[in-house]
Amino acid sequence: MILEEIKSILSSEINPTIEDPGKYKLASILVVIYGKSPVVVMTEKPKHMKFHAGEISFPGGKLDYDDDNLLDTALRETSEEIGLTIRKDQVIGQLKPVITLNSGFKILPFVSVIDEIPPLSANAEVETIFHIPLEPFLKTMAHDPDPSHNLIQEMYTFEYQGQIVWGASARVLKQISDCLIS
């Protein structure tokens, strides 16, 4: 899998709003894929966080009153959390919104596929930054064995270095896998 192929496959129209979030709070994330052997950037949340403590996730967060739309949210949060500035013209598409089981968020994922990134720096909302080889990571997909996780929609897990990625992050990865491996 090469970067240009990924860029072509994941490119889509960008609509950075969700008109009717229903009972959910709005949030967005940025999926950053880079490098000759494509790598995806993910983070581990600190154990003391109010939401998603210790979970592996994408950079992102909740819509702030200063954000014009959810794309602005994803770009701002990515810059704050991992010190990576992505321009709007570097965002090539978006995926379908996903919801969180416990915290009540509807998350709009955006995608940026770029050649390279500078060294990253985690803020207090990030315990660890992971640079995960994309193709082998996607091949670790399994159905989530915990029946309590399957209440809202089918759930999956992915594994990296003994860490399990599940929930909304795994549903985003499943969308990527469906696009790239189908």
> pLDDT tens digits, residue range 143-178?
866 665 555 566 889 999 999 998 899 999 999 999
In the predicted structure, residue 132 carries a pLDDT above the cut 80: yes
- What pLDDT is recorded for position 20? 86
More confident residue, 124 or 54: 124
CATH of the domain spanning 3-133: 3.90.79.10
Summary mean pLDDT of the chain: 91
Domain boundaries, the chain: 3-133
Query: Which tens digit of pLDDT belongs to each residue from 16-46?
Result: 999 888 899 999 999 999 999 999 999 998 8
Q: Model's pTM, two decimal places?
A: 0.92
- What pLDDT is recorded for position 105? 92
- What pLDDT is recorded for position 52? 56
What are all long-range contacts of 174-179, with beta carbons under 8 Å and residues at least 24 apart? 174/141, 175/95, 175/96, 175/109, 176/10, 176/31, 176/95, 176/138, 177/138, 177/141, 179/9, 179/10
More confident residue, 54 or 3: 3
- What pLDDT is recorded for position 147? 60
